[in-house]
Amino acid sequence: MKYENLLIEERDNITILTVNREKALNALNVQTFSDLDHFFGEVAPSSKSMGFVVTGAGEKAFVAGADIKEFFSLKGEDAKWLSKRGQDIFFKIEQLKKPVIAAVNGFALGGGCELAMACHMRVASEKARFGLPEVGLGIIPGYGGTQRLVQLIGKSKAMEYTLTGDMMDATTALQLGLANHVVPHEECVSKAIEILNKIASKGPLAVGMVIKCINDHFDENKNGFESEYTGFGEIALTEDFIEGATAFTEKRKANYTGK
């Protein structure tokens, strides 16, 4: 499938998605959301890829936010719909049972920071700048930013960055736990691929279950401990569970099939 604002590149068993609106610093307009929705809702769950990298086109930005130019036409109910729709699409990324890593190659502001936070990990280029500047526009983050920033860096710093709208450089993002790694600019995508390749050697069903259990910790309707023992029981019924234990005792590499 060809998308209007997303470039898709398959590299072995990994897919690299590039948000491709360089002239608007890859800002998320309605069409880009439709593209992301289709990819993460319809394509990614059944794709042969074991994991995904999300990055931005060009040298300057990962994603500079929601498309501010589309805001002028928004009224209350439309804005509420836009925000809910963005949240729902980002939940599809967060809840995907395959790892998604944001390769943050520049500005990750507003909706761009929220997109990066919905991914399971973030590799930041030295040039990356994170931030939720929405209050400066007289609005608030709308794609999960007020919730996920707290989850990732804690209430105190989340309050500070969201209320001041200050940008955070890559080193600070690493120190606060927003970024998993900081790398030279040109290594941003390759570092994300390196992490995914490491995960590719693990049991895919187990990987998916870990993502679910960790997400469940943050879902007030779920008990993460219950998810864990239930998931443990489910995984123990799979062929991969037998293969993992057998490979260990036979001192060989496990050959997982995802069954």
Q: Which residue has the tokens 């399971």?
A: 120
Decide: is 36 part of the binding site for ligand CAA (CB under 6 A): no
> Binding string, 79-98, against ligand CAA, x = CB under 6 A?
----x--x------------
Task: State the nearest-atom distance from the C-beta of 31 to ligand CAA, in Å.
Answer: 13
CA 69 to chain centre: 24
134, 194, 234, 239: the active-site residue: 134
Decide: is 110 part of the binding site for ligand CAA (CB under 6 A): yes
Measuring CA to CA, how many Å separate 156 from each of 149, 161, 206, 230?
Answer: 10, 9, 34, 34
Task: State the nearest-atom distance from the C-beta of 13 to ligand CAA, in Å.
Answer: 32
> Binding string, 126-165, against ligand CAA, x = CB under 6 A?
-------xx--x---xxx-x--------------------
CA 19 to chain centre: 13
Q: 241 — phi, psi (to 5°)?
A: -65, -45
Angstrom distance (rounded) from CA 63 to CA 92: 18
- Cα angle, residue 17 at apex, residues 6 and 12 outer, rounded to 5°: 135
Does residue 134 have an active-site annotation? yes
Query: Which residues are at the interface with ligand CAA (CB under 6 A)?
Result: 24-25, 27, 64-69, 83, 86, 107, 109-111, 114, 133-134, 137, 141-143, 145
Q: Known catalytic residues?
A: 114, 134
